[in-house]
């Protein structure tokens, strides 16, 4: 894209969704194993 700001913006979006879905999966699996 030839813009460090917009590339960072896209990367951080990726990180945000990775944390959101990663935490969702991790906590869901933990809840399942507790049950």
The footprint of other proteins (CB under 8 A) covers 1-6, 8-9, 12-13, 15-17, 19-21, 23-24, 26-28, 31
CB nearer to other proteins: pick between 3 and 35: 3
Q: How far is CA 31 from CA 11, 16, 19, 20, 25, in A?
A: 30, 22, 18, 16, 10
In whole angstroms, how close is the CB of 35 to other proteins at the nearest point? 13
What is the Cα–Cα distance from 9 to 31, expressed in whole angstroms? 33
In whole angstroms, how close is the CB of 7 to other proteins at the nearest point? 10
């Amino acid at each position: 894209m030839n813009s460090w700001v917009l590339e960072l913006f896209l990367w951080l979006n990726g990180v945000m969704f990775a944390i959101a879905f990663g935490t969702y999966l991790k906590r869901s699996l933990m809840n399942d194993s507790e049950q």
